[in-house]
Amino acid sequence: MRAAPRPNGYRDAWCGQLTAERAGTQARVAGWVHRRRDHGGLIFIDLRDRSGIVQLVFHPETAPGASETAHRLRSEDVLTATGSVTRRAPENVNPNLITGEIELSVDELEILANADTPPFPLDDDISVGENLRLRHRALDLRRHPMQDALARRHRVISTMREVLNARDFLEVETPYLTRSTPEGARDYLVPARIQPGSCYALPQSPQLFKQLLMIGGLERYYQIARCFRDEDARADRLPEFTQLDIEMAFVHEDDVIDCMEAVIGGVFERERFDVSRPPWPRMTFDEAVFRYGIDRPDTRFGLELKDLGEAVAQTEFKVFADVLRDGGVVRGINAGPRELPRSELDALTELARQHGAKGLVWAFAQAGAQEWPVSEWRSPIAKFLRWQEIAAINERLDAKPGDLLLIVADEVTTTGQALGALRLELAHRFHLIPVGRHEILWVVEFPMFLWDPDEQRWDSLHHPFTAPVGELADDPGKLKSHAYDLVLDGAEIGGGSIRINRLDVQQRVLELLGIGPEEAQARFGFLLDALRYGAPPHGGIAMGIDRIVALLAGRENIREVIAFPKATSGADPLTGAPAPVDPAQLRELGLRAI
């Protein structure tokens, strides 16, 4: 709290700002009883408001009335008190409190509301279950870490607004009751009373609206936008989340990236977040996937993936030979000098399987007859490989005696996913990420389409409005797009693209995605219509505010930086939503539960 409050009937000072400078003056404060202590006749109250804590003292001789009332005070009672700011005796100074040199010697006390015993102690470190905290969120929010997180969230959003306002952006709101939007998740639907059987959809993002704003000549738009996606919630994903949504007209990829570096770089600087200053490095999608097995690489530690295809090109080991013959790859990582028991190697194998790999080869490099290259292994497959092959793999992985090598042979995507997951698991298990180290980078040159083998069709990697690089060539699998993601410590904190601004290109892309003209018209007709009337080149991005604030606040869980989040189940322990509704309401909507 930067300024003193405007004096009113409840307070003329913030609790946390009464310092020794105020000694000898009168002050009025208001807040909650944080703690009460009785010392013989004296009563001490730690009074708390958003700014902090101040100690109140009640002397029975000089203020008998107030003292008498103070006897009845309990934790979390609400009060206002007036008194004189007095220096504490040196032995009573509390160096841990900003207000620790003084106390307020109370003359007048008024209890404004009484509190029942809270269902959990409102300490900074809390050990009670999250559901209980969410159910009593008003109490949970009183705790310092929550106040701190929400203040930080406010600051982050303010900085974003300041930087964008200075660059002539306009903040524009877009509808919540709308039609399905194309981010690829399930929609939340709102049944429409005016048209029984029809529904509004809650937006998965303001994507189409922000493009219309560009076609509408608004040039630069932003919004702190709520997005709704009906997916299974996880620690980092909730049914509704907030993003900084941006769109700019007459821009190339570099312009959007440059603007975001100013916004996010500005946030990091203000929050004193220890990460490199922009411009931030860029890595192509292909390189990220090749070196880290994932399109959001955590570059804070090594353990990079290496291709072993050449080392085993002539192998007679059937598993490797078959995979290579079928167009797959053999890749591996050097996990460093680790001795793992069989059970843990089995667990790693299981993890590789969970990511689609058929199996995992593990090997411990061993000093053999020759010093270098190390040409022996302790591994279940050692006997199937020639020593030259083992030596070649060891060389490629830079293996020293004692190093644990993990190898996957599979189709290229699966191999990357499995090794990428193993890499993160090893980093976690062996604490390979230096404490306090942060790495940020852009991932660029994404493929335009990915083949969905189950549905037997192409999917957009970003969304169907992303512009291709160059012309739409014959092989959709080779096309790149003008999409970009910002990745911090292995988490995607934002992503966007340059959009298609020509109707013919948009129609061709929708066609490639298997969305016929009629379906396209029905779903995005309003965008296609607008594209007929002169759309400027445009592009934008969306940054995940919940995740950014959580990273800045050093919280694992994004619910710690949201005032009223849903639980992991997607339900809201506070309000009880979702909840059954009155049959009359359903009738009005033309709905019946099945």
Binding site for ligand ASP (CB under 6 A): 183, 205, 207, 495-497, 540-542
Q: Are 140 and 129 in contact (CB under 8 A)?
A: no
Q: Toward ligand ASP, which CB reaches closer, 211 or 349?
A: 211
Q: Toward ligand ASP, which CB reaches closer, 142 or 462?
A: 462
Task: Tell me the backbone φ, ψ of residue 112, rounded to 5 degrees.
Answer: -100, -25
Q: Give me the helices (H) in 234-341, please.
A: 253-270, 285-292, 318-325
Q: Toward ligand ASP, which CB reaches closer, 34 or 463?
A: 463
Residues 6 or more apart whose Cβ sits within 8 Å of residue 556: 235, 550
Task: Tell me the backbone φ, ψ of residue 46, rounded to 5 degrees.
Answer: -90, 115
Measure the CA–CA gap between 473 and 569, rounded to whole angstroms.
44
Q: Tell me the closest approach of the beta carbon of residue 560 to ligand ASP, in angstroms.
A: 23
Q: Tell me the closest approach of the beta carbon of residue 542 to ligand ASP, in angstroms.
A: 4
Residues 6 or more apart whose Cβ sits within 8 Å of residue 507: 517, 520, 528
Q: Tell me the closest approach of the beta carbon of residue 565 to ligand ASP, in angstroms.
A: 19
Q: Tell me the closest approach of the beta carbon of residue 93 to ligand ASP, in angstroms.
A: 53
Q: Tell me the closest approach of the beta carbon of residue 225 to ligand ASP, in angstroms.
A: 9
395 HSE (CA, 13 A, CB side): 14
Measure the CA–CA gap between 462 and 513, rounded to whole angstroms.
12
Q: Tell me the closest approach of the beta carbon of residue 213 to ligand ASP, in angstroms.
A: 12
Look up residue 500 and give its two tokens: 């298609």
- Helices (H), strands (E): how many in the chain? 15, 22
CA-wise closest residue to 440 among 407, 400, 410, 484: 484
Q: Tell me the closest approach of the beta carbon of residue 80 to ligand ASP, in angstroms.
A: 46
Q: Toward ligand ASP, which CB reaches closer, 328 or 468?
A: 468
What are the Cα distances from residue 277, in Å, to 264, 272, 493? 10, 11, 16
Q: Tell me the closest approach of the beta carbon of residue 207 to ligand ASP, in angstroms.
A: 4
Q: Toward ligand ASP, which CB reaches closer, 207 or 417?
A: 207
Look up residue 407 and give its two tokens: 């190898």
Q: Are 548 and 562 in contact (CB under 8 A)?
A: no
Q: Toward ligand ASP, which CB reaches closer, 153 or 538?
A: 538
Q: Tell me the closest approach of the beta carbon of residue 453 to ligand ASP, in angstroms.
A: 24
Q: Toward ligand ASP, which CB reaches closer, 167 or 353?
A: 167
Q: Tell me the closest approach of the beta carbon of residue 539 to ligand ASP, in angstroms.
A: 8
Q: Toward ligand ASP, which CB reaches closer, 293 or 540?
A: 540
Measure the CA–CA gap between 93 and 97, rounded to whole angstroms.
9
Q: Toward ligand ASP, which CB reaches closer, 415 or 501?
A: 501
Rounded to 10 degrees, the C-alpha dihedral 76/81/85/87 comes to: -40
Q: Toward ligand ASP, which CB reaches closer, 423 or 462?
A: 462
Q: Tell me the closest approach of the beta carbon of residue 172 to ligand ASP, in angstroms.
A: 14
What are the Cα distances from residue 236, in Å, to 93, 557, 562, 570? 43, 7, 12, 12
Closest residue to ligand ASP, judged by C-beta, is: 205
Q: Toward ligand ASP, which CB reaches closer, 52 or 495?
A: 495
CA-wise closest residue to 222 among 268, 269, 162: 162
Task: Tell me the backbone φ, ψ of residue 210, rounded to 5 degrees.
Answer: -70, -30
